[in-house]
Amino acid sequence: MYQLEQSIYFYLLLAIPVIVLLFIGVLIWKRQTQKKFADADLLKKLSPNRSVFKPVLKVFVFCLAIACLAIALVNIKIGTKIENVKREGVDVVFALDVSKSMLAEDIAPNRIEKSKQLVTQILNNLGGDRIGIIGYAGSAFPQVPITTDFSSAKLFLNNMNTDMVSSQGTAINEAIEMAKTYYNDEEQGNRVLFIISDGEDHEGNVESIAEEAAALGIKIYTIGVGTEKGGPIPIKRNGILQYYKRDQNNEQVITRLGEETLKQIAEEGNGAYISGNNTKEVVSTVTSILNGMDKKTFDSKQFTDFKDQFQWFLAGALFLLVLDVLLLERKTAWLKKLNLFNEAER
């Protein structure tokens, strides 16, 4: 198991192709300039020790040093030991609406991205809880099984989008039914389901299913994402707007937040409705709800004693930088014998 402490420094690797392009540009400029003064044979006589291979080697070594420096700044940490850890928490499942209506931009940047931000911030504030994630549109599907691995959960969460389910709609009832299978610990008294949705186009008798879930000890909280004014549904390709979704009468579809539906589901599920417009308030409310519940103690295996590995890459970068300085652009005796690039005298 490994951790990346500062992954943003991977952007330094973008400097490598820039350096290569600059080096190629300088080589082309040099050759064109040299041709103005003398032909190739005369240049070889004037500078017999000029190497073609050495400048390429110097640039390669320098780029390798930048790569090592970038990885050192990222600071990869490797877990060296697995231990059984006692944790106290609640089983929390998030059901995320990924229907096309979640593309509406009545809340920035759009409903689905806002929903993912909310779940991510909630996960950042959880302690020893176990979490699971379900996606749903016209049907529900498991995204992350119940786990204590928050890092993996965030990775899968970030990849969720409205193209994951071909059938459209908002099958909240299927999401609730699937959530029942997530709570695999019979001794866990507190089970919580957070439904993040715009509450529109729900299908089936959701209220009765929510009531059944509540009878099993599952508390259902709904988080509404969107506005009552609503907005059109943009259909984009590669980030470029293609058109806005229209109905059978060729009228532009306006999707609005269905607060009443979400409030009714939460009421039947012995939970509460939470407005998702303010991330800070949502996180604070969810944290208060979970902190007020009785925690169950359970065992979980996890990596401990993570050790920094940056020193190896930093040492490699320093060595390569020193080597780059010591490398001269003229030929050496052993390189002449190898006759690389036909550099030996005829």
pLDDT digits (tens, 9 = 90+) for 258-286: 999 899 999 999 999 999 989 999 999 99
CB atoms within 10 A of CB 36: 6
Prediction pTM value? 0.64
| Mean predicted lDDT score pLDDT of the chain | 84
- Which tokens in the block code for residue 76? 């990869």
- Which tokens in the block code for residue 230? 């609503």
CA distance 258 to 200: 5
Higher pLDDT, 148 or 301: 148
Domain boundaries along the sequence of the chain: 2-75+309-342, 86-300
Q: Where are the beta strands (DSSP E) in the chain?
A: 2-4, 76-89, 91-97, 130-136, 140-147, 191-197, 218-224, 231-232, 234-237, 240-244, 254-255, 273-275, 296-308
The proportion of the chain whose per-residue pLDDT surpasses 70, expressed as a percent, equals: 80
- Which tokens in the block code for residue 307? 């050790």
Higher pLDDT, 186 or 303: 186
- Point out the least confidently predicted range of 168-172, 276-280, 332-336: 332-336
pLDDT recorded at residue 87: 66
Question: Which tens digits make up the pLDDT trace of 187-200?
Answer: 666 789 999 999 87
pLDDT recorded at residue 109: 92
HSE at residue 225, side-chain half, CA atoms within 13 A, is 29
Q: Candidates 3.40.50.410, 3.40.50.10070, 3.30.1340.10, 3.30.910.20; correct CATH number of 86-300?
A: 3.40.50.410
Largest Cα–Cα separation, the chain? 93
Phi-psi region of 305 (alpha: psi -120 to 50; beta: other; left: phi over 0): left
CA distance 178 to 181: 6
